[in-house]
């Protein structure tokens, strides 16, 4: 490694090491910060590997293994950055760990060789290229998740910068790496590209993490329940809809565990089929049960978000109309993408909780395409 290459690489190692230490020094760390600390340390080790060609084999093995959480680790960082708490699950960690093992196996197969590639090494290299390319694409696409015109301007600007910087770094390192096989000058430029891109991604990611502290993401929520387009109501349907709204918002009839559509139709003085048609066609709900369930979950969100509340999850499930804890947990996770316990923890940590489309603790939105109201805190 030439003098200027060594200096550039040393600068990149220093930036990665400072990033690691800065992240470890934080008393309270988000998922993205913990994961990026791992990536920063892995980047530092990976950048150091060219300096260790004459080092003992145990040291080269340690660096080879420690430097295996770069692109795969950054995929987890991007999920945590754009999905919030709950965006990285055990299955994602296992996928990243599998790619790390593949990287370690490939690097291990090249240690101590004279440059000739065995069939085993070639096969591992092809598989590693496929896995890494897939993760790089997924990492880029994370910034597009949830994109809409309703996103804050600062959020859209951060995501555009993320995609531009990430794509530029991937393109620069890929092109110089490919040209290095036939153009010796590209090999020297490759060292500069890898070091410069590593520093750029580290610096930008710290800026993105600071942005995320200012504009937190909600907990990872699953897709909103399907609903049919609402239509205009005639005078009689409007009267019935207003009476239904009173039952739901004021009387909170959804807190009754055994509530059925026939019971509610009787209270409203209408036929069961008319009420069902109003719910599914006039109000855009899929069916009666979905409407009631969404109100129950929205009410549970309000109770879980109350500061200083001491009620247990079981007690809250009963207050919201669930007959037992099991159905409550399943329904809550299906609607909100997290467990009631995780939701309460996010509220206590002052993380903006997810929002449930179509209902809010303080009322019911009659427009199927209306923006969801934030959960009361």
Rg (CA), the chain: 27
Q: Which two tokens stand for residue 73?
A: 């680790």
Q: Please report which confidence band the pLDDT of residue 272 belongs to, taking 50, 70 and 90 as the band edges.
A: very high
The DSSP-derived string for 125-159 is: HHHHHHHHHHHHHHHHHHTTTT--TTS-HHHHHHH
Look at residue 15 and tell me whether its pLDDT is greater than 50.
Answer: yes
Look at residue 372 and tell me whether its pLDDT is greater than 50.
Answer: no
| Contact assessment for residue 47 and residue 198, using Cβ atoms and an 8 Å cutoff | yes
Look at residue 128 and tell me whether its pLDDT is greater than 60.
Answer: yes
Q: Please report which confidence band the pLDDT of residue 1 belongs to, taking 50, 70 and 90 as the band edges.
A: low
| Contact assessment for residue 335 and residue 225, using Cβ atoms and an 8 Å cutoff | yes
pLDDT of residue 63: 81
> Which helix or strand (DSSP H or E) is residue 163 part of?
helix 153-179
pLDDT of residue 140: 95
- Listed by start position, the domains of the chain span 3-214, 235-364
For domain 3-214, give its CATH number from 3.30.70.20, 1.20.1070.10, 3.40.50.720, 1.10.510.10: 1.20.1070.10
- What is the pLDDT of the chain when averaged over all its residues? 81
Give dist(CA 128, CA 250) in Å, integer: 59
For the ranges 43-57, 88-102, 338-352, the maximum mean pLDDT occurs at: 88-102
Q: Which two tokens stand for residue 35?
A: 């994961």
Same fold yes or no, 3-214 and 235-364: no
Give dist(CA 121, CA 375) in Å, integer: 54
Burial class (CB in 10 A: 0-12, 13-18, 19+), 237: middle
Measuring CA to CA, how many Å separate 62 from each of 58, 108, 112, 157? Answer: 6, 10, 14, 39
Phi, psi of 160 (to 5 degrees): -65, -45
Q: Please report which confidence band the pLDDT of residue 263 belongs to, taking 50, 70 and 90 as the band edges.
A: very high
CATH of domain 235-364: 1.10.10.60
> Which helix or strand (DSSP H or E) is residue 359 part of?
strand 359-360
**pLDDT digit string (tens) for 151-170?**
678 888 999 999 999 999 99
Exposed e or buried b per residue across 88-105, where buried means at least 16 C-beta atoms within 10 angstroms of its C-beta? beeeeeebbeebbebbbb
| Contact assessment for residue 18 and residue 201, using Cβ atoms and an 8 Å cutoff | no
**pLDDT digit string (tens) for 66-104?**
889 989 999 999 999 998 767 888 899 999 999 999 888
């Amino acid at each position: 490694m030439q003098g200027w290459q060594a200096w550039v690489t040393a600068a990149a190692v220093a930036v990665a090491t400072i990033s690691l230490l800065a992240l470890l020094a934080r008393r309270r760390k988000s998922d993205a910060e913990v994961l990026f600390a791992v990536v920063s340390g892995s980047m530092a080790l990976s950048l150091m590997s060219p300096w260790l060609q004459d080092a003992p084999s145990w040291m080269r093995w340690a660096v080879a293994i420690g430097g295996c959480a770069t692109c795969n680790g950054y995929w987890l960082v991007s999920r945590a950055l754009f999905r919030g708490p709950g965006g990285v699950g055990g299955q994602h960690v296992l996928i990243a760990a599998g790619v790390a093992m593949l990287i370690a196996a490939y690097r291990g197969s090249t240690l101590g060789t004279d440059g000739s590639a065995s069939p085993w090494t070639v096969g591992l290299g092809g598989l590693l290229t496929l896995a890494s390319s897939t993760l790089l694409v997924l990492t880029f696409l994370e910034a597009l998740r949830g994109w809409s015109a309703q996103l804050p301007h600062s959020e859209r600007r951060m995501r555009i910068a993320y995609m531009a910087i990430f794509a530029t770094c991937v393109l620069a390192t890929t092109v110089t790496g490919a040209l290095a096989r036939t153009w010796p000058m590209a090999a020297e430029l490759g060292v500069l590209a890898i070091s410069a891109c590593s520093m750029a991604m580290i610096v930008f990611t710290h800026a993105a993490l600071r942005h995320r502290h200012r504009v937190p993401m909600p907990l990872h929520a699953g897709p909103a329940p399907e609903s049919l387009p609402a239509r205009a109501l005639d005078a009689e349907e409007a009267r019935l809809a207003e009476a239904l709204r009173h039952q739901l918002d004021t009387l909170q009839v959804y807190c009754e565990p055994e509530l059925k559509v026939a019971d509610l139709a009787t209270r409203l003085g209408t036929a069961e089929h008319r009420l069902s048609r109003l719910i599914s066609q006039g109000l855009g709900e899929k069916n009666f049960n979905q409407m009631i369930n969404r109100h129950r979950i929205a009410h549970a969100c309000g109770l879980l978000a109350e500061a200083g509340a001491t009620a247990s999850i079981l007690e809250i499930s009963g207050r919201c109309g669930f007959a037992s804890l099991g159905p409550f947990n399943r329904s809550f996770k299906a609607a909100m993408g997290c467990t009631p316990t995780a939701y309460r923890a996010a509220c206590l940590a002052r993380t903006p909780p997810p929002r449930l489309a179509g209902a809010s603790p303080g009322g019911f939105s009659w427009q199927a395409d209306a923006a969801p109201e934030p959960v009361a805190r």
